[in-house]
């Protein structure tokens, strides 16, 4: 079994989900007392969050690249960044290490394609919804049309992520707001909704809506399990 590298802490709530999902996945495949071999580096999210909102992406890249090098030194065979937003600096992180980086957008797009989804709505931080590092990768590399909420709804989504979900706060009123936005995107032709922030699934699950939801945390973790337990998997 290969060793899975996790670059986490952004936030630790969603990183805990990665750890649980990966270990459960390995147990399901290998059985018995098997658990995942993991090299994990968890950063201080307060530092990263401040740099994000200042637009200091080069600084975040330096911090996360050093952390990724520690993950590799810990014996990881490949790396997952346990957050959608910080894939903005995925290329810089990949350049700093010799092991492959498993991109969360690629894993998600592969799942969408396998399910025949051609147009999807994207929820995430404002950075992920506004900028092209995520949605353009999905549309240009995989031919999937990505639509995002309007500016006002983006503000709502972003605020709830940072002021509630990253702090472990789960509010029913916020879930209602998210589901209203999901409904709007569905009415605009989205066949499914990508939960493009690893905290969103803490608030909204498939049981809350008939619109198909794609939890990027679960999808990314499942890809890691597959890579760790199967031979000759790309």
- Determine the average pLDDT of the residues in 111-130: 96
Percent of the chain with pLDDT over 90: 96
Q: Is residue 234 part of a domain?
A: no
Domain shared by 140 and 210, yes or no: yes
Domain shared by 68 and 149, yes or no: no
Domain shared by 129 and 30, yes or no: no
Mean pLDDT estimate for the chain: 96
Q: Is residue 136 part of a domain?
A: yes
Is 230 labeled as catalytic in the residue annotation? no
Q: Is residue 95 part of a domain?
A: yes
- Determine the average pLDDT of the residues in 20-49: 96
Residue among 83, 108, 128, 217 flagged as catalytic: 83
Domain shared by 115 and 195, yes or no: yes
Asked whether residue 208 carries a pLDDT value surpassing 90, the answer given is yes
Question: How many separate domains does the chain show?
Answer: 2
Residue among 85, 108, 197, 216 flagged as catalytic: 197
The model carries a pTM of 0.93
If one counts every other C-beta atom within 10 angstroms of the C-beta of residue 46, the result is 10
Which tokens go with 97? 């290490």
Domain shared by 112 and 208, yes or no: yes
Q: Is residue 185 part of a domain?
A: yes
Q: What is the CATH number of the domain that holds 140?
A: 3.40.50.1860
Confidence band, pLDDT 50/70/90 cuts, at residue 117: very high
Domain shared by 111 and 203, yes or no: yes
Q: Is residue 204 part of a domain?
A: yes
pLDDT tens per residue, range 67-88 = 999 999 999 999 999 999 999 9
Confidence band, pLDDT 50/70/90 cuts, at residue 44: very high
Burial degree of 49 (CB within 10 A; 0-12, 13-18, 19+): middle
Domain shared by 24 and 83, yes or no: yes
Domain shared by 143 and 80, yes or no: no
Q: Is residue 49 part of a domain?
A: yes
Q: Which pLDDT value is given to residue 42?
A: 97
- Determine the average pLDDT of the residues in 139-155: 97
Q: Which pLDDT value is given to residue 90?
A: 97
- Determine the average pLDDT of the residues in 19-45: 97
Domain shared by 111 and 197, yes or no: yes
Confidence band, pLDDT 50/70/90 cuts, at residue 230: confident
* Contacts with 160 (C-beta within 8 Å, 6 or more apart), sequence order: 171, 174, 177, 178, 203
Q: Which pLDDT value is given to residue 222?
A: 97
Confidence band, pLDDT 50/70/90 cuts, at residue 189: very high
Of 69, 17, 42, nearest to 221 by C-alpha is 17
Q: Is residue 139 part of a domain?
A: yes
Domain shared by 98 and 199, yes or no: no
Q: 79: domain range?
A: 3-104+218-229
Is 197 labeled as catalytic in the residue annotation? yes
pLDDT tens per residue, range 159-178 = 999 999 999 999 999 999 99
24 CA to centre of own chain: 18
Q: Which pLDDT value is given to residue 185?
A: 98
Domain shared by 155 and 204, yes or no: yes
Domain shared by 99 and 110, yes or no: no
Q: Which pLDDT value is given to residue 231?
A: 66
């Amino acid at each position: 079994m290969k060793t899975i590298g996790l670059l986490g802490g952004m936030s630790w709530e969603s990183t805990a989900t990665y750890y649980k999902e990966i270990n459960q996945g390995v147990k399901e495949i290998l059985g018995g007392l098997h658990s995942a071999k993991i090299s994990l580096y968890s950063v201080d999210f307060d530092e990263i969050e401040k740099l994000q909102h200042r637009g200091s992406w080069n600084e975040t890249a330096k911090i996360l690249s050093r952390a990724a090098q520690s993950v590799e030194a810990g014996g990881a065979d490949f790396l997952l960044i346990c957050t959608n937003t910080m894939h903005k600096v995925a290329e810089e992180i990949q350049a700093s290490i010799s092991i492959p980086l498993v991109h969360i957008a690629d894993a998600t797009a592969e799942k969408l394609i396998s399910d025949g989804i051609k147009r999807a709505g994207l929820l995430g931080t404002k950075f992920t919804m506004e900028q092209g590092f995520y949605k353009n990768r999905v549309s240009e590399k995989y031919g999937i049309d990505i639509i995002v909420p309007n500016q006002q709804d983006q503000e709502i989504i972003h605020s709830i992520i940072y002021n509630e979900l990253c702090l472990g706060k789960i509010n029913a009123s916020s879930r209602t707001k998210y589901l209203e936005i999901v409904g709007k995107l569905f009415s605009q032709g989205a066949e499914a909704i990508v939960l493009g922030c690893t905290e969103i699934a803490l608030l909204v699950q498939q049981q809350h809506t008939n619109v198909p939801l794609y939890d990027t945390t679960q999808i990314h973790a499942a890809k890691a399990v597959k890579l760790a337990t199967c031979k000759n998997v790309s």
